[in-house]
Structure 1
Amino acid sequence: MQWNKNDTDQYLQAKEYIDTVVMALIPFQLSNDQELSKLAYQDEVLQIFASEITRELSGRTMQVPAYHYLKSANRESETDRINTWIQDSAKQPFQHTFLLTFDASWKKQERELNGNLLWLPGIQSGGHSLERNKTIHS
């Protein structure tokens, strides 16, 4: 199910069967010209992935609006905001939350998130590398 009127109406009638939320974590930053195209491409691809996962698991998942954050933002404060959102969604009652991202910096916050982080390693297309594989040091 997607975040639209028809699907949310359908969700309200069958919510006992829909136990999982899928949300993309998407960085955004206009102040860095070198990153604009990469971040826009990342947004497009991640939204497609989220939609395909939701379509494949139809009847069990709800894809909610993506969580956009400034790439330069403090991850700890963003983690708090995401956890507040997850707590609110648990009132529906969604039992599982999957957070999709290409941004490897979320791996450092993974234990603090109240959802399941699915970090997707970088891919390349059209000269755009979404995220380089790099070692994350805690």
Structure 2
Amino acid sequence: MKLHTLRPAAGSVRNNKRVGRGQGSGRGGTSTRGHKGAKSRSGYSQKIGFEGGQMPLYRRVPKFGFKNPFRVEYTPVNLDTLQKIAEAKGITAFTQEELVNLGLVNKNDKIKVLGRGELKASLEVSAHAFSASAKAAIEQAGGKANTL
């Protein structure tokens, strides 16, 4: 196989319809657009969500709920994950930079440590927030929970 011998699969590529090129082509006259009306004109574009005058879906469905603009989104990191990494790589201090390097969080994320799993290693963990169970487990294992 060489670059100059590459071809699309047979039947996968078709020529475009050439409309508006005379009556003999079978696609002259109205050029497959039908007779009159906005859709037959050039430059026509329908509003997004327009349903021909019927009440559009986004107006038929009632609004509900509320988005709190002050909500703080945290990226969760569990104790069992930290334990696994501590065993595998021998890390004892988990800072934000370390968690970013490990690929657990992104650099602009706020981190919350959650208490899933068991923690045997004595770790120093720095995060923006800790669940009560995670903080207790870290301190019980002889580590430190530093709030950023």
Q: TM-score, normalised by structure 2?
A: 0.28
Hey, which of these two has a bigger chunk of strand by percent? 1
Larger radius of gyration between Structure 1 and Structure 2: 2
Greater fraction of residues in helix: 1
| TM-score under structure 1 length normalisation | 0.30
